[in-house]
Chain A
Amino acid sequence: MTQPGGTAPLLAVRDLKTYFVTGRGGGTARAVDGVSFELYPGETLGIVGESGCGKTVTSLSILRLIPEPPGHIRPGSYIEFDGRNLLTLAPRDLRAIRGNRIAMVFQEPMTSLNPVFTVGDQIAEAAVVHQGLSRGAARARAIDMLRLVGIPDPETRVDDYPHQLSGGMRQRVVIAMALVCRPQILIADEPTTALDVTIQAQILELLERLQAELGMAVMLITHDLGVVAGTADRVVVMYAGQVVETASTAELFAGPRHPYTEGLLASIPRLDRPADRLTSIPGNVPAATHWPAGCRFHPRCPHAWDKCRREEPPLLDAGTPGHTARCWLVVEPQRRRPAP
């Protein structure tokens, strides 16, 4: 699945703009500002970027889960799924897709489960609503799902309440809940960030196994390129509400073309050198209300020159098909400064 080649995309996001109008004087946060990418059947697409880059807002926009107000998706944005624009779909049609054909797993397993319902109820609920399962069938389905996500003793666990489970178990429940209708797309927004390191690996392994078993496409959102390395086929790197680089995982790791991606790569802890996040990308993501002019990365970029401050680079073809980068260095490689 490295090269999507001729297959048609399952989901195509085109020029997505999601803005938040914050209270008096705060201005408009352009959280997602013209994002485009495709998701192909069966692949795992990694979406990577530091916290605050707009990853969560992008994923919520796909299912129109943005809280309105303060947020809104700008007209002109387009999200194609199954030949239709999700952004203009009638609420009823949209609901038929949510949780049924496109499902989500959220970052916080502690808070994304409803405390007053049993995990069995919550897992089966989507199937009850979308497929009209009976009570008995729902319970059986919930038990099946618990078994599928590797929870021991599912027949008794099905009646547990969320607070009775550990963090890792809860995230498995959340995954079971998302997969109960066998969706074609699973959007996993930082599914492991809130968990211990050992549990993180288990959950990633579980996602990989389930994808192989169920054949769905997975959008894996993370701030950690290391998570993407072993799991994703392709990677979309986001910065300041924009896509700054896309490539197959192998290419991205072998030859990143955007200085931001290089910084992210340098910050992955590796055996042969210590992770040094602070020196690899100095500074912080700026506020979404005040993106820098020109290249949005220029205040933090070691190579920035006048043009970067003046003109915003478009997504440029970076040689191999499917590899693009939003950086003037692609057309003016001589501007690259040698590492100190």
Chain B
Amino acid sequence: MTAWLLRRLAASVAIVFAVLTLTFVLIHLAPGTPFLPSTDDRSVGPEIIARLRRQYGLDRPLPVQYLKYIGSVAHGEFGESFSQHRPVAQALADAVPNTVLLGIAALVIEFTLGIALGAYQAARARRRVDAALSHLTLFFYSVPTFWLGLALLLVFGQWLRWLPVGGVSDPIVHDTLPWAGRVFDTLRHLVLPACTLGLVGAAGTARYQRAAMLEVIHQDYIRTARAKGLSERRVLLRHALRNAVLPVITLLGLSLPFLLTGAVLVETVFSWPGMGKLAADAIFSRDYPVVTAAAILAAAMVALSSVVADLLTALADPRVRLGDGDAA
């Protein structure tokens, strides 16, 4: 178990390392420099640019820059942000909690709603409700995330005016509110972005859960459970669901890349100051250190989440023992 965990963590570190290299190479292959945002800007003379390049170490040979970068990342240093004129770590420290909040809220929606819908559909398989819900989940599964975000924003933010249209908190009153009021304010801002991300994810999970549940329902042990005289509710919720969520837990680990991708779009649509928006903004301003740091962080989160998903699977499925074979 410990050996397994160490091996998996080592593999994760290797992956993150590879990603770091990849992003570094990509960025330095790309044309354009961070200090030449537009050719029309004549206020910045070539000597200033040269000085800035020296200051940030961009004049050294690539391998040296690469080694230096790895060295500082190993010390938890991601360098200075070009555009924000402050350490990357600080910019990330501001953004990451927002993305984590959004991500957790979206994951909760995705999995509770997805599992419940899928299980319900399987229990009503091939009836009219099931068909209707199948079409609905297919729709949400197929719709562009950012378009759904815009549609929700239009309906609930603009027409009905039930919810704020963007940001993480009310810029004017937030700081004047008492503790509970601030929490409520943030939650109100969270609803639309979290629902956008969550609904799209829930649709995928529901489709998956329905299929898993249908497969389980035809197993012999479900017949055994019925033969015991258990209520249909107990048969489905205890015996069937417990088995049918196992593959969905694995899905949890796989869903994080999609969640982060979605976060880039949803954070942009809702001006949610998280990692996704930070990364997107940084890319447009060619803020290399931020881009690289965001990519590394994203890769690390994805790699870690797959370890966590495996751990959860092992917890939930007595047949799985970590450390037996590599795939575990």
Question: Which A residues are within 8 Å of any B CB, using their own CB?
Answer: 60, 63, 65, 67, 91, 95-100, 103-104, 106, 108, 111-117, 125-126, 129-130, 161, 163, 174, 177
Contact = CB atoms under 8 A, between A and B. Distances in A.
Contact of B221 (A60, A63, A115): A115
B227 A99 contact: yes
B317 interface: yes
B229 A177 contact: no
Given A111-B221, A116-B318, A161-B318, A126 B228 contact: yes
Contacts of B318: 115-116, 161, 163
Contact of A116 (B218, B232, B243): B243
A65 B226 contact: yes
Interface in B177-232: 218-221, 223-232
A96 B221 contact: no
A103 B227 contact: yes
Contacts of B234: 129
B243 A114 contact: yes
A111 B225 CA distance: 12
A130 to B, nearest CB: 6
A103 B228 CA distance: 7
Given A106-B220, A130-B229, 7 more contacts: A65-B223, A65-B226, A95-B230, A111-B220, A161-B319, A163-B318, A163-B319
B224 A129 contact: no
A22 to B, nearest CB: 15
24 contacts: A95-B229, A96-B229, A98-B229, A104-B227, A108-B220, A111-B219, A112-B223, A113-B221, A113-B224, A114-B221, A114-B239, A114-B242, A115-B318, A117-B242, A125-B228, A126-B228, A126-B229, A126-B230, A129-B228, A129-B234, A130-B229, A161-B318, A161-B319, A163-B319
A98 B243 contact: no
A63 B227 contact: yes
B18 interface: no
Contacts of A116: 242-243, 246, 316-318
A163 B324 CA distance: 15
Interface of B: 218-221, 223-232, 234, 239, 242-243, 246, 316-319
Which 4 pairs between the two chains have the least Cβ-Cβ distance?
A98-B229, A99-B228, A99-B229, A111-B220
A313 B168 CA distance: 82
A125 B230 contact: yes
Contacts of B219: 111
A115 B319 contact: yes
A177 B221 contact: no
Contacts of B218: 67
B223 A106 contact: yes
Nearest to A110: B220
B198 to A, nearest CB: 27
Nearest to A64: B226
Contacts of A174: 224
A100 B229 contact: yes
Contacts of A60: 223
Given A98-B229, A129-B230, A114 B319 contact: no
B258 to A, nearest CB: 27
Contact of A106 (B224, B243, B317): B224
Nearest to A161: B318
